[in-house]
Amino acid sequence: MDGIYIVVTMGLGVPLNLAAFRAGIGSQLARYPRFQSIQVIKNDKPHWVLAPALNLEDHIIVVPTSPDAASDPDKAVEDYAASLSTAPMDRSRPLWEFHFLDFPTSEATSTAVLRVHHSLADGMSLLTLLMASTRSAADPSRLPAMPAPPARSGNIYARPRPSRSQSGLAFAAWVWSFVVLAWHTVVDVTLFVAIIMFARDPHTLFMRADVSGGGGGDLAAPYAGVVYLICMTSAPLPSAPNDEG
């Protein structure tokens, strides 16, 4: 296995317009230095360097329609996206690719699949970058706009103070709700700090090898939280900071 990849599948509501995609990728995504860089080994450590040249055609793949696409297009898209999680990438080029499947499924007219090595970005920063790189087809100069967050309502978001006409028990329950909230906050923060300081990650294939030979292989700073894995392989590369340099 050649690396850890992020694979993003995007359903399109219109047939594939390869010229528009090529122009958008070249003017938006490919202008960032990290998407123009390759990794080289220097002093036994990988480093980022700018590639001599960036050929967009090396990163845009139009997938031929297979016979399976006619019988079960949804499965054809899923199988193809799954295969990208283990297929190796050419390390002599920047480690990202767009794959286009120009046939309809039950949810889309065509499909675009983006594969990026995890060393370029994490999932959230990549999705944010994709959103920031989109433009309106009617007005290419207009920046993307996110929908307004839904209004939060209900008892969980409001703690109205009981009126004077209510009993002392209602007032005590109102005060107690804040005490419980404060207690759970203290407990959660204490557990979070304790996990960071004292816990160690379990041994998995994603753990960095122990180069000192003393066993273990734990990361120096263990992390706590929920991880959503979109793809899986091995041979980790040094993660890139979420910047444009």
Check if the beta carbon of residue 86 is closer than 8 Å to that of residue 233.
Answer: yes
Distance of alpha carbon 161 from alpha carbon 21, whole angstroms: 55
* Amino acid letter for position 47: H
Cα distance from N-terminal residue to C-terminal residue, the chain: 28
Per the CB < 8 A criterion, the answer to whether 46 and 39 are in contact is yes
Clarify whether 118 is annotated catalytic.
yes
Query: What tokens were used for 157?
Result: 């978001």
Burial class (CB in 10 A: 0-12, 13-18, 19+), 143: exposed
Residue type, 180: V
Within a 10 A sphere around the Cβ of 12, how many other Cβ atoms? 17
Residue of 99, 117, 118, 184 with catalytic role: 118
For the annotated catalytic residues, the residue numbers are 118
